[in-house]
Amino acid sequence: MKINFILTLVLVFLIQISYADDGHNLWLRRATPKPVKVVSPRKSSAVLEAAIAELKQNWQGEAEATISLILKADKQLKIDGFKIDGNNIQAVNDHGLLYGVYELLRAQHLGKGLPKIISNPSYQLRILNHWDNLDGSVERGYAGKSLFWRGESDLAVTETDRKLWHEYARANASIGINGSVVNNVNASPRILDIKNLQRAKEIADILRLYGIKTYLSANFSSPVRLGGLKTSDPLDPEVKDWWARKTKEIYSIIPDFGGFLIKANSEGQPGPQDFGRTHADGANMLADILKPYGGILMWRAFVYSPTDKDRAGQSYVEFMPLDGQFRDNVIIQVKNGPIDFQPREPFSALFGAMKKTAVMPEFQITQEYLGHSFQLVFLSPMWEEVLMSDTYQEGPGSTVARTTDGSIFNQKYSAIAGVANAGLDSNWTGHHFAQANWYAFGRLAWNNQLKSEQIADEWLRLTFSALDGKSPEAAQNASWETNFLKPVKQMMLESREVAVNYSMPLGLHHIFAANDHYGPGPWYAPRNQRPDWTPPYYHQASAEGVGFNRTKTGSNTVSQYKEPLASQFSDLANVSEDYLLWFHHLPWDYKTKSGRLLWDELCFRYDSGVKQVRNFQVVWDKVRPFVDEQRFADTQRRLRRQTRDAQIWKDGCLLYFQQFSKLEIPVELERPVHDLNYLQKIKPLAIGEW
């Protein structure tokens, strides 16, 4: 027995030192292809050529099989949709054939053979928003520098650039993404300078090969800051003329330019309200200019200004009166929740409420509030939770998904956006498991009814499999299924809830440390700071209790939700404890559904989060025989940090709130291991670097 154990260890060691994987191939890892014959339409295109190349380079089916790519109208098929029946892939456009090829190849790699399906995208426009700056930095980016920009003094495009953009475009197309905003929503006016537009053209020329349109974020004050005008008033004729000339110039450089994304009158960004105009005035001016070219205007609803009212309700207050006033090529981009991509918050009340205006969900793939690239948090369960939430706006079943994908409202365009998490790191996303969030966004954008369990299963099978260079049958045998796939998938599916438990349980929100949004900071409240930029504004902790009262006796933001939700959120007997302190300010001795006092329940939630993350380390260490050494070690190192950081969250929050509750931590729970004074002094991003 002892000899066999030693031999096993030696074998594992030899395998691991002989093979490493930096994760650069994402979920598109190549195997030796088998020969295949492809019959394609006579009229060729770059996208069709990409589809044919994918088949020939990745075919895993019967050798010398013939696959027919058919362009043909079909009432069952939408634009970009496809039908697979045996060896035939049918679509109404080239893009659909490409997506059909990827679906067929995915099925092969998952061991499903040739599928027989009809698949149409949930959203027409499936877009990544890159918060990349012209200097090469990435706002809220945790995976290295920008894929697209490296400074305005270095705009020349290299073969390395083109190769990387090809790989990026291929990865997006493989999961159905068809648009990319290649610069930050906090846009520099100089993005519209001719030199930067020429580089944008080079990017667009590559992305186009895989059916991806290029979009730009534009600064609303560009007519002044770039064009030299005295005003950016959207109703000023000179301003309109400047935008018209600039847009004409863009389309002369990028003929299939997708349009603009605008962040206006938010976080100091300029906008139409600076001139006494409305969001509709600003959006419509640009939409009218884009319309002859087929362009769209995405206008973000993330707005808030200093106010004594509840920040959570401001987007609704500003946009609801404008419903029906926007042009049909304007899409209002709404964050999934009313605050700011929090680990958990209710869906934005704007979903379903704006019935005469196209509304697109905005998710955050990059983990600004969920551990950056240091923590394993699979975001699909959060997005699924939002998409499946019932708004009741058109009766039961009016989910966020159905109110935004055209199922209920007759919108000219349907769209969804995700804030990208890709950068120049060799594995693209910093954390190997953060690749799963990019993959999950694309899959949900294509089919907003998919379940997170299926997405996690797919990603794991595609990303960690026999292609790892170990036992040839590793991905198929019962050992791999039982000892790798099952526990790691369960870890992924639990990870978001675990992060909520150790950071902001029971509806607590926005209690992060300042600026970096990493680590706890419920105490952060400098005197010169806007109240709604400080955690005490949100947790409202005092000797009397904790939580934000958004019921009728408080801010009444709950009234923005359609019945029966407004009453449900207001009623302590019916509100989910996931949102308890989001909607209610409660005394520390309030009795929760577990029978525990609120203080004790908080302690138990924080403690369970730490213990769950510790178990992630155990899970990962056990699967070492099935993972190449490089990705195993990288993930193991990050899980160690995540465990340390979860302890910081627990200690910092409980010791801080204990000052108000004056209650003891339940004796059966582990005690804090840090001092509050120490935690209040350190920089949160440094806490994991001990």
Annotated catalytic residue, options 267, 544, 589, 664 = 267
For 173, the token pair is 């197309």
564: preceding bond cis by omega (within 30 degrees)? yes
Residues in the chain: 690
Q: 458, exposed or middle or buried, with CB in 10 Å at 0-12, 13-18, 19+?
A: buried
CB 361 within 8 A of CB 414: no
CB 178 within 8 A of CB 80: yes
Helices (H) and strands (E) in the chain, counts: 21, 13
Taking the C-alpha atoms of residue 501 and residue 523, their distance in angstroms, rounded to an integer, is 19
Query: Long-range contacts of range 5-10, CB-CB < 8 Å, 24 or more positions apart?
Result: none
* DSSP letters for 266-304: STT---GGGGT--HHHHHHHHHHHHGGGT-EEEEE----
Catalytic annotation on 394?
no
Q: What are phi and psi of 5, to 5 degrees?
A: -65, -45
CB 366 within 8 A of CB 430: no
Taking the C-alpha atoms of residue 48 and residue 99, their distance in angstroms, rounded to an integer, is 10
A 10 A CB-CB count for 186 gives 15
CB 648 within 8 A of CB 674: yes
H runs (alpha helix) in 359-477:
380-387, 400-404, 435-446, 452-463
Annotated catalytic residue, options 340, 362, 405, 628 = 340
Annotated catalytic residue, options 368, 390, 645, 651 = 368
Catalytic annotation on 267?
yes
Catalytic annotation on 340?
yes
The residue assigned the tokens 């997006």 is: 172
Query: Would you name the residues annotated as active-site residues?
Result: 267, 340, 368
